[in-house]
Amino acid sequence: MLLTLEKILILKTVPLFKDIPEPALADFISSAEELAAVEGADLLNVNDEWSDMYVVLQGRLRVHKDGKTLKELGNTSVLGVLYALDPAVSGVAVSVLEDTTLFRVPSETLYQLMSEHKSLEKAIIGSLCGQLRDLSGDTPLF
């Protein structure tokens, strides 16, 4: 198990958290559930209700649907932010490719952290806006 300082240093390498002050990261860490997922396990199945945000501390995950890999996620990846803000049924599955340690933050906890730490709220909104811009390409979003 990693010490809080080690976890803060890891989170500082995650683009979403790079500008978040250490006290806010410490609160995030103390509010998150640390999970150990073993290779071959399913973190999420298609049609599961998804309402949590995950941060991969170490390990690798596979996001897939109908046997097709959509994306592989590794150390410092973040997934489920949108689902934590607006829970919904998942259209994808997430499987563990190698033993993985991650943080799980439920929706209610994330909203509480965002209300207490505006820097976290701003980073999450900015991250989602960036993803939307990437998806829209040259098509302006109004």
Q: Report pLDDT digits (tens) over 114-135.
A: 999 999 999 999 988 888 888 8
| Better-scored residue on pLDDT, 136 or 126 | 126
| Radius of gyration of the chain measured on its C-alpha atoms | 15
Report the distance separating Cα 93 and Cα 79, nearest Å: 12
| pLDDT for position 135 | 83
Report the distance separating Cα 10 and Cα 2, nearest Å: 10
| pLDDT for position 120 | 94
| pLDDT for position 132 | 85
| pLDDT for position 124 | 94
54-83 mean pLDDT = 95
Q: Report pLDDT digits (tens) over 9-63.
A: 999 999 889 999 999 999 999 999 999 999 999 999 999 999 999 999 999 999 9
| Better-scored residue on pLDDT, 5 or 34 | 34
103-107 mean pLDDT = 96
| pLDDT for position 139 | 74
| pLDDT for position 1 | 67
CA angle 22, 26, 32 (to 5 degrees): 140
Place of tokens 């933050």: 105
Query: What pTM value is reported for the model?
Result: 0.89
| pLDDT for position 130 | 86
Place of tokens 């990846």: 77
| pLDDT for position 141 | 63
